[in-house]
Amino acid sequence: MPGNGAVTRSTLRQQIADALRDEVLAGRLLPGREFTVKEIAEQYGVSATPVREALVDLSAQGILEADQHRGFRVPEYTLDDYRGMIQARSLVTDGMFQALLAGHPAFRDPLDPRTPAVLAAVRRRGEEARRAAGAGDLSVLIGYDLRFWRELSALFGNPYLADFLHRLRVQSWVCAVRYLRRLPDLRGRLWSGHTELVDALSRQDFEAARAVVSAYNAHSLALIERLAAG
């Protein structure tokens, strides 16, 4: 059938992108690591086209950087970059909570069954994130944390906001992983207040929700600054 080739290529593209994203977020592809389309295609035993498309996708997400002459590489984010990411995240989430305080449609009608249902689903992601943080399992935590914030931001019905916050959070993790992997045991060191945030939103206590996020950002920044200082 004519569509089979396109479907196969699209599937390969996503599989390669997912595999490389996991490698970067796990800290196995270190900052500054360079590679070419040819190298990755040979590694996975596939043609260059889906590899190139996957690498371009990851570059658009801030997980990789494209170099016209040398291929692609893992970004070498600095501590100042991380501070900027935290500040940008704070501005975005603060704007979200301001909208909620002003009566955003997602929370305006307490009888609307959609919002509690979504929050319940998001809370389950938060519970998984909390368990992963308690166990010090960084890879699992990152996966659930990204899903948590993606689904939470989707409540606002603005895909541009959701995409922007997701990109910021991915970049934040790419930057933080290089420092966090220095710790032999992450148990008790990682933020795990996801369910507290959902509970505050469920009560429509947006000031409390803002305080939870503010504490999260302060915790994350202080931890990475300590690790960066050695």
Cα(202)–Cα(40) distance, integer angstroms: 45
CATH topology of domain 79-228: Four Helix Bundle (Hemerythrin (Met), subunit A) (1.20.120)
Query: Which pLDDT value is given to residue 193?
Result: 95
Cα(179)–Cα(167) distance, integer angstroms: 20
The pTM score is: 0.86
Residue (of 13, 20, 18, 15) closest to 35 by Cα position = 20
Do residues 79 and 192 touch, judged by C-beta distance below 8 A?
Answer: no
CATH topology of domain 4-73: Arc Repressor Mutant, subunit A (1.10.10)
Query: Which pLDDT value is given to residue 115?
Result: 75
Going residue by residue through the chain, which has 230 residues, state the pLDDT in tens, using 9 for 90 and above: 333 444 455 688 999 999 999 999 888 888 999 989 999 999 989 899 999 999 999 998 889 999 877 789 999 999 999 999 999 999 999 988 887 777 766 655 554 556 788 889 999 999 999 999 999 999 999 999 999 999 999 888 788 988 999 999 999 999 999 999 999 999 989 999 999 999 998 888 888 999 999 999 999 999 999 999 98
Cα–Cα distance list, 56 to 18, 19, 99 (Å): 13, 14, 34
Query: Which pLDDT value is given to residue 96?
Result: 85
Domain boundaries, the chain: 4-73, 79-228
Query: SS3 of 35, please?
Result: strand
Query: Which pLDDT value is given to residue 37?
Result: 92
